Amino acid sequence: MAGEKHPPAADRDRLGLRADCANCLGLCCVALPFAASTDFAVDKAAGKPCTNLRDDFRCGIHSQLRQRGFTGCTVFDCLGAGQKVSQVTFQGRSWRQDPDSARQMFDVFANMRQLHELLWYLTEVLQLPPARPVHREARRALDDVERLTHSDPQILTTVDVAAVRRDVSDLLLRASELVRAKVPGRKKNHRGADLIGARLQGANLRGANLRGTYLIAANLRDADLRDADVIGADFRDADLSGADLTGSLFLTQQQLSAARGSAATKLPATLRRPQHW
Same domain, 28 and 137: yes
Q: What is the pLDDT of residue 11?
A: 72
Same domain, 14 and 115: yes
Residue 162 lies in a domain: yes
Q: Which of 138, 163, 179 is the last residue of a domain?
A: 179
Same domain, 226 and 140: no
Other CB atoms closer than 10 Å to residue 237's CB: what's the count?
Answer: 16
- Rg (C-alpha) for the chain, rounded Å, is 19
Q: Which of 179, 208, 226 is the last residue of a domain?
A: 179
**Which one-letter DSSP state was computed for residue 29?**
G
How many Å apart are CA 30 and CA 91, to the nearest integer? 18
Higher pLDDT, 221 or 2: 221
Other CB atoms closer than 10 Å to residue 64's CB: what's the count?
Answer: 12
* pLDDT value at 4 more than 50: no
Quick one: pLDDT band at residue 12, thresholds 50, 70, 90?
Answer: confident
Quick one: pLDDT band at residue 10, thresholds 50, 70, 90?
Answer: low
Same domain, 16 and 132: yes
CB distance 130 to 193 below 8 Å: no
Same domain, 167 and 213: no
Mean pLDDT of the residues in the chain: 93
Same domain, 80 and 155: yes
Overall number of domains in the chain: 2
How many Å apart are CA 263 and CA 78, to the nearest integer? 25
Q: What is the pLDDT of residue 7?
A: 52
Backbone angles phi, psi at 155, to 5 degrees: -65, -40
Quick one: pLDDT band at residue 6, thresholds 50, 70, 90?
Answer: very low
Same domain, 121 and 196: no
What's the pLDDT tens digit per position in 108-142? Answer: 999 999 999 999 999 999 999 999 999 999 999 99
Q: Which residue range forms the structural domain that includes residue 12? A: 8-32+76-179
Residue 154 lies in a domain: yes
Backbone angles phi, psi at 102, to 5 degrees: -60, -50
Whichever domain contains 259, its CATH number is 2.160.20.80
Q: What is the pLDDT of residue 109?
A: 97
% of the chain beyond a pLDDT of 70: 96
Residue 63 lies in a domain: no
Same domain, 194 and 167: no
* For range 74-89, the mean pLDDT: 96
- Mean pLDDT lowest for which of 13-22, 65-74, 185-194? 13-22
Same domain, 170 and 112: yes
Q: What is the pLDDT of residue 117?
A: 97
Residue 242 lies in a domain: yes
Same domain, 139 and 167: yes
* pLDDT value at 3 more than 70: no
Same domain, 109 and 222: no
How many Å apart are CA 62 and CA 58, to the nearest integer? 8
Q: Which of 179, 207, 236 is the last residue of a domain?
A: 179
Residue 68 lies in a domain: no
CB distance 229 to 211 below 8 Å: yes
- pTM here is 0.92
